[in-house]
A and B are shown apart, each in its own frame.
Chain A
Amino acid sequence: MNLLNRRSMLKAAGTSAAASNMAAVELLSQPAMADELARSGKNVILLWLAGGASQLETWDPKPGRPTGGPFAKIQTSLPGVEISELLPKMSTRLDETAIIRSLNTKIADHGQGYFLMDRGRRAEPGIEYPHLGAILAHELGQIDSKVPDYVSMYTSTEGRRQGSAGFLGARYNPMFLTDKMIPEDIQLPESISDTDHRDRAALRKTLSQRFAQRMNHAGVGSHENAYERVRGLMASDYLFDIDREPTAMRDAYGPTQFGQQCLVARRLVEAGVPFVKVARAWWDSHGQNFETHRELCADLDHCMSTLLDDLKQRGMLETTLVITLGEFGRTPKINGSLGRDHFANAWSCTLSGCGIRGGTVFGKTDADGQTVTEGEMNAGDLFATIFSALGISPDKEYMVGSRPIPISDFGSEPCSEVLS
């Protein structure tokens, strides 16, 4: 595997710029470096609607149709655009958001659907594709970052899948929060003082140095890099502490766990964490779809709108892309338990903020929501769109062995209509 980390090159260029400003200028004039600059300081928050939210009770309502369910649609602040009445707050906050109503991803099974929407391509034996977070941590993060570059919160147990950074390597695995609101092992244990902890780390380094130098090996190097980051990451534990936020801000995000995690996500991206995933489980409403969405949409509506407001007020929305996405949508057909089942042929997601043409609704489904009639997109197209919004060329390739692997799936195209 031969992965060129442009960020570290830029940093290297920056260091040498002290000696010669000219060198840095020349480097920056190269296209790769311009590309690098375009995505500096960009972040992503993925609101992962695990289990599969219903497009009909969110972004693509069909009231009055046999498939429409009981809820009405409401007029949004965008002329002619209507969404479900379960999202009243979002209806007035679509200026920075693009709604995509034409996903056809075909796979309506949790495991494989998750794989597809997490990696933007189908599984292929013999190659381990990285997931979106790992790709973006790799593209947007810094190799020696003092803050985590990929935090994933998945506190519900159902459908929890950690995924893997695949061929990008374990360096890009997430800090995965499952039980607590703070990553495991990031806080100083009570059994050791801060001074001793620091000195112990220094002693470890002393005892490691000669071996690391003489072995001159990338794997050994990654070991030292991982330990080098420990103290920095421990120092970032305050990012997970929402008690440091003013009461008004905590109240604004509200008392639900999803709200609190959205607030943590905002604190993280504010501190420079390039990718944060907040998984909101579990939308798998085979029974009682309408009651489930009444509960979960209220949570989504409140938390997503508060997050967008907060990012906007801080001037961060221009550089932060907020994605709401799950593994699939839900069947237009309503079953006997007033539930909706798995459905991947015509469903919706949203993109807000960085690089997105706000106020856009892209794609159409038929009157009953059974098929996509306009602007069909698959997972690869969505990923290409996400990369483009962040200034990453969707044509970029990784070399895995002798095999070039495009960053977004073969044959995928970014959707220019939703890009600013």
Chain B
Amino acid sequence: MSFLELRGITRDWDGQGGVRDISLSLQRGDFLSILGPSGCGKSTLLRLIAGLEQPQHGTVVIDGRDVTALPPAQRNLSMVFQSYALFPHLNVAENVMFGLKVRRVAARERDRRLSDALKMTGLDGLERRKPAELSGGQRQRVALARAAVAEKPLCLMDEPLSNLDAKLRHSVRRDIRALARNLGLTVVYVTHDQGEAMSLSDTVALMNKGQVEQVGPPSTLYNQPATIFAAQFIGEPPMALVEGPLLGLREGLTVGLRPELIQLSPPEQAHLTARVLDCEFLGSETLVSLDHPAGQGLAVVLPGHASQVPGDSVGVILPEQDRRIFDTHSGRIEKASQQNPAALNRQNTAPRDGQTAPEATEPSFDLNRTTS
């Protein structure tokens, strides 16, 4: 029995924006991230769960109860806003206890929960400060504490880290995870940062243009993206994409491969030859971006400090067992049986300035079409 269930949720504004026909379900205690680029409807989906928006179609079920028509307060959930939505005239303690006072929780119980929440979020000693006197990270923690004292089983978070700097984001990210575990919260977490989604969640729902593109554990989304969009959105750097015909596949297929699985090789053994665009030294490894007319986002990750000269031609091996093959037009994954194993060893050694392989000149490689 799932704890949170969305069935066919649709909400748009005169056909603009919003979400279309979304169904999701979530077990109690799960951490679900809703991931997607801005404007994909992920915040709308969260607001629909919270009850701050009403769906045009579909139902929201929380803990076996159909709450579609209920106001937010009766849905038994708490929420952390992107802007934190702290009350500027109330101090930290008053902000955190606002909901408890409204719900007339007894004073002793209130104080106990307050001190627990402040301890958990490391806000001890800041009780009397106003939000304006706090740093961004502290404000963020007040918002978390306010959600924590409510002791509601479901917690919704709308891009809670987007206003923090990179370092803080990392530490608060860990706090959120710990908080959710300690309190046994079921969390729905909206973010546009794939790193956040991957590191925090048990399940990631990737959204695009108002629809769910793929749902699954982070490792599945990373290793087995179901669509070209997923392949390109998840991972830093994202999956490299190569036109199928270049690797001996039929027209209309696209091959995707994680850059860390791509290898450099001598030209005679390579699947294709590409030109070095740029080298980024990342400390433990070096990311070498490559350019090939029939490829997109081609890159190689080399251990340690590697020095490739931009403009050089290098041979590249795309290991067959790691390839993901997509239909270029629908953007969906193809069955593995559609691969043509016999053609996989064919080489294509066309550098950019040399004689380009005839397949590569075809302008059939259009990513904008793939997700429609």
Co-assembled chains A and B: no
